[in-house]
Amino acid sequence: MPFTTGKIKALCFDFGNTLIEFGPKQVARQYSVLERTLTELFGSCDAARLKIIRDRQIAAPLNNSCRESTLESLCSELIHEIYGVTPEKSHVDTLVQTRYESFVNVVKLPDGVLSLLNKLSGRYCFGFLSNYPCGRSIRDSLKKIGLLNVFKTIVVSGDVGYVKPHARPFETMLSQLDFSPSECVYIGDNWVADVQGSKKMGMNSIFTTQYVPYEIFKPAKGDFSPDARINHLDELERLMLP
Ligand SMILES: [Mg+2]
């Protein structure tokens, strides 16, 4: 492993598919809740079209200089593209609330995560950085699973305006942790957002493949390699508490 654990001060975590499972099953459940709400508001909803639009919206920041959207603009766009109408604010608000609730509902704390974090917290400070357009959804889901108070800082792309791998969200987290990048390890499942983003900042990177991600990125020529790879979060105990 290229970094020396004795020099590391902070462990920084991604959320989906790193601390919690957020893969195809969770995304499909969210899409079905959206479909139900849209049907109630506007009548029959084309589920295949909904999936195409949402999949495009999920990938959109990477094609737009890492600019993050808001839940409001995403929901407004969804209604407009499926039904061909300019939505009223009340309809957008209803859909935003649906997305918020379905996200918080779908988040579950896997067995072992809390005890692992308890062990690691004796030695390390924790940071948190997630790509998601809504900070409230992330904070309330962390609260639901009992993790809201374990992090020194919680940074969400929706609050920063840029998604990982852009430097801005990493800089925001690092400035609040007050450690140099080389003193921090970022643990994430996304090759582009997490591994390339953190390595570009001068941080150390651990790539986790515990869960099936919704988006899969293949390594490209010239990409940074992670400093370590794990198949399960529990392996952090062996790596970081030798
Ligand atoms: Mg992730």
- pLDDT tens digits, 165-199: 999 999 999 999 989 999 999 999 999 999 999 99
| Predicted pLDDT of residue 208 | 98
Confidence category of residue 201, pLDDT binned at 50, 70, 90: very high
- pLDDT tens digits, 122-166: 999 999 999 999 999 999 999 999 999 999 999 999 999 999 999
- CA dist 163 and 62 (Å) reads 8
Report CA(96)–ligand 1 centroid distance (Å).
22
CATH superfamily of 5-21+109-240: HAD superfamily/HAD-like (3.40.50.1000)
Q: Which amino acid is at 146?
A: G
For ligand 1, an ion, list residues with CB under 5 A.
Answer: 14, 16-17, 189-190
The structural domains of the chain, with segments of one domain joined by +, span: 5-21+109-240, 24-106
- pLDDT tens digits, 57-73: 999 999 899 999 999 99
- CA dist 151 and 14 (Å) reads 12
Report CA(200)–ligand 1 centroid distance (Å).
17
Quote the strand ranges of 1-144, DSSP E. 10-13, 125-130
Residue 159 makes CB contacts below 8 A (sequence gap 6+) with: 135
- CA dist 156 and 137 (Å) reads 10
Q: What DSSP character marks residue 179?
A: S
**CA-to-CA dists, residue 36 to 27, 32, 50, angstroms:** 14, 6, 11
| Predicted pLDDT of residue 229 | 97
For 27, the 3-state DSSP assignment is helix
